[in-house]
A = this chain, B = another copy of it.
């Protein structure tokens, strides 16, 4: 047996394995130059016998998530105590969608599609795959398992329904509403019968990026080439690369929120003179529920505009993550006088709800009652730029990195 195993190990295919490696810890904003793309690594496509329950996967999609910024920063703040930072010189990791190439874990076998924590590389050996979810439903775009059907989807679900308990007719405000989580919160709240307004920042004219049209994503690559992706699932989902280039592309987030995602109203916070005045205009009767993704001045303005017994689900504070010192919050007295509930939460509190979440959301997707916008950067080598863009609001929709097609 030993000889046979040794022979099998020798036979295992060895492939090149491109990787995104952390070069130095970010100070302030994460930069492209904090990473290097390592092209000389290799990977044997066999789980080593020493790994009792390892799984080896080929990565298809990687997810750019705001929480990654904490793992990339050199900071001794006690706030980040719950995260363990990436090591310098090592491949970074995060949520992704992948296919099992080899498995020593009883729950997974070769050919299974999975989502969960994987590496920013072409192939990953996952030693502890207990937190991987097997993908059972493939009649929806696989990339959605980094967003709508993955961690951001469950985050939106848990934050809105478990933390905020929305009731029909309530007024809901969502910041970063075109982001991975925000766009879903707004749509879930609409399905509940709430009045929903979102805020987003306009993306500056970009030399590359994606624009959503009905059933079509126009994606302009960094080299100027245009890729058209047609999503007419469950029937079909295919991409066509067009042999011409354009110089810039822009998507208006207000148009996106109002006309494609079905929000009742939306505004571009970068075009507002004052956030308090904007909120008073969009919520003359005040806000019942605020889904917080950004923090800072927006949270301060929202506090002034909350209604009695309002609820604030704190999902993210992306405007604050790269600041040396966070901005001060001054309208704390609103929490007292309006008897507000302000609650921080994380998706990890709601993992047990994933089956219930799928029961709600899959029929809505199939009935085309939920739209999901993704901003797909192509190629692992464009991963760092895509991640960096998250913190300057460059993405419209869930930022994904395409590593390989199925």
Contact = CB atoms under 8 A, between A and B. Distances in A.
A317 B345 CA distance: 25
A335 interface: yes
Given A79-B331, A299-B332, A308-B82, A345 B339 contact: yes
Interface residues of A, number: 37
A234 to B, nearest CB: 37
Interface string A333-358: 11111111111111001000000000
A342 B299 CA distance: 14
A317 B346 CA distance: 28
A269 to B, nearest CB: 18
A360 interface: no
A233 interface: no
Contacts of A326: 330-333
Interface in A282-311: 295, 299, 304, 308
B330 A335 contact: no
Interface string A44-88: 000000000000000000000000000000000011111000000
B82 A337 contact: yes
A343 B341 contact: yes
A304 B78 contact: yes
A142 interface: no
Contact of A317 (B328, B336, B339, B343): B336
A332 B335 contact: no
Contact of A341 (B82, B299, B341): B341
Given A339-B345, A339-B349, A341-B341, A332 B330 contact: no
A376 to B, nearest CB: 28
Most buried by B among A315, A336, A346, A349: A336
A180 interface: no
A250 interface: no
A336 B295 CA distance: 10
Contacts of A334: 79, 344
A332 B296 CA distance: 9
Interface in A336-391: 336-346, 349
A293 to B, nearest CB: 10
A320 interface: yes
A281 interface: no
A337 B304 contact: no
28 contacts: A79-B331, A79-B333, A79-B334, A79-B337, A82-B337, A82-B338, A295-B332, A314-B336, A316-B336, A317-B332, A317-B336, A325-B330, A326-B330, A326-B331, A326-B332, A327-B328, A328-B328, A328-B330, A334-B344, A335-B343, A335-B344, A336-B346, A338-B344, A339-B343, A339-B345, A340-B344, A342-B342, A342-B343
Interface of A: 78-82, 295, 299, 304, 308, 314-317, 320, 325-346, 349
Given A335-B343, A336-B346, 15 more contacts: A78-B304, A79-B304, A79-B333, A79-B337, A80-B337, A317-B332, A317-B333, A326-B332, A326-B333, A329-B332, A339-B343, A341-B342, A341-B343, A341-B344, A342-B343
- Shortest 10 CB-CB contacts between residues of A and residues of B: A328-B328, A336-B344, A335-B344, A329-B329, A342-B342, A339-B344, A341-B343, A314-B336, A79-B333, A79-B337
